[in-house]
Amino acid sequence: MVNPHHTSFLTKLNALCENRKILITGGGGFTGIWLSTLIDTLGADVVTLGTNLTRTNTPAAAQPLTMPSPLQTKHLECDIRSLGVLQNHITQQNPEIIIHLAAQPLVLDSYKTPYETLSSNATGTLNIIEAARHANDCKLVLVITSDKVYQNDNSGQPMQEGQPLLGSDPYSSSKVAAEAIALGYAQAFHHTKGPRIAIARAGNIIGGGDWSADRLVPDFARAIGNNARLNIRSPYAVRPWQHVLDAAVGYLLFTASILENNSPFHDSICPAVNLGPLAEDCITVKDMITHLGHLSGTGLDHVDFADGTDITGKEKHLLQLDTSLAKRLLGWEPKLRIKPALEHSWAVYRSLLDGKLSGEIVNRQVAQYLEALDA
């Protein structure tokens, strides 16, 4: 990482989190568990909120990814589509920062459950922002969306923050709608007392313990755990793969920057930033599977590759993010390149497949990541 402000990343993160109440929606999901563990380690008073809408499939002998025990006692079970209940929780907790992750996050599932996807991702975001307006101490709502919000012509050109947004499926449409809601609120109320609103767009997040359906790394680990064959439908699709801790640190650095007195985002009504991998780490699905086959020791004997054509037509072939804004204004770029990111991911999956609980290895990887952050 390169820091243009000459202050260590760890110092900035500690200053942001220490003794500050931070509420994470979707905190019981894959990214939420890693993010809540990270900010808990950094000294924040963490509260998580949400209900599980993600279709998961954990092998019978494997362990799921779970929140650390101290955080489980502070989790609030709540459907963010229920404004009254949600507003009561947020008013009572009165967080300074809300990081909004809660969503139905699967593209293919959005075709099966379009109403649930749109109501959770769009109406849910509306409710979070509305509830935050009535929390006395709330300074910022950071809405996490996706690389898939951009109008994508499959050219492979990296998407920049100012490019047009256009949903091409229920999932991406729901995230575009969430961004429109965030921008509308920010424009309407930026002169009044209330929280700032900002948007972070992340790429394809990987990391240990994600057992979500129809995702590449979980599908690979699941096939091994179930002693089953793995069918790869689009081996030559390219995605902006990034480790969950890189994305999480990006969210926090963006948050810290917005709250600074001399913030480079001071004049932005609803700033948005891309967080993704370096261009050379945007590799094909087949390359990802090849790396995983090497790490797991299984090779590719249990993998069947399609001819390269996605017969469903439901997913884009090329996705890549331009992250130059995050590097220039935040000093952020990924700490974990694609091979180390996969090594870290597989170490967690191996542990879970061996029946070990997730807490110890997640805490250890978070601590190791923070130790190496400013190296």
**What confidence tens digit (pLDDT) does each residue in 24-41 have?**
999 999 999 999 999 999
Q: What is the pLDDT of residue 3?
A: 44
Q: What is the pLDDT of residue 282?
A: 95
Q: Please give the span between the terminal C-alpha atoms of the chain, in angstroms, as a whole number.
A: 8
**pLDDT tens for residues 65-109?**
999 989 999 999 999 999 999 999 999 999 999 999 999 999 999
Q: What is the pLDDT of residue 7?
A: 76
Residue 114: pLDDT band (50, 70, 90) is very high
As a whole number of Å, the CA-based R_g of the chain is 19
Q: What angle do CA 182, 199, 331 make, to 5 degrees?
A: 155
Q: Which CATH superfamily is domain 9-371 in?
A: NAD(P)-binding Rossmann-like Domain (3.40.50.720)
| Of the listed ranges 156-160, 244-248, 257-261, the one predicted with least confidence | 156-160
Q: Return the closest-CA partner of residue 279 out of 331, 327, 207.
A: 327
Scanning the structure block, which residue is given the tokens 């050379």?
280
Residue 181 has pLDDT above 70, yes or no: yes
Residue 307: pLDDT band (50, 70, 90) is confident
Q: Return the closest-CA partner of residue 208 out of 105, 360, 332.
A: 360
- Beta carbons within 10 angstroms of residue 268's beta carbon: 15
- Per the CB < 8 A criterion, the answer to whether 154 and 211 are in contact is no
Cα–Cα distance measured from residue 112 to residue 314, given in angstroms and rounded to the nearest whole number: 12
Residue 311: pLDDT band (50, 70, 90) is very low
Kindly compute the dihedral angle of the four CA atoms of residues 158, 129, 122, 33, in this order, to the nearest 10 degrees: 70
Residue 313 has pLDDT above 70, yes or no: no
Residue 6: pLDDT band (50, 70, 90) is low
Cα–Cα distance measured from residue 8 to residue 245, given in angstroms and rounded to the nearest whole number: 17
DSSP class per residue in 58-110: --TTSPPP---HHHHTTEEE--TT-HHHHHHHHHHH--SEEEE--S---HHHH
Q: What is the pLDDT of residue 314?
A: 61
Cα–Cα distance measured from residue 216 to residue 211, given in angstroms and rounded to the nearest whole number: 10
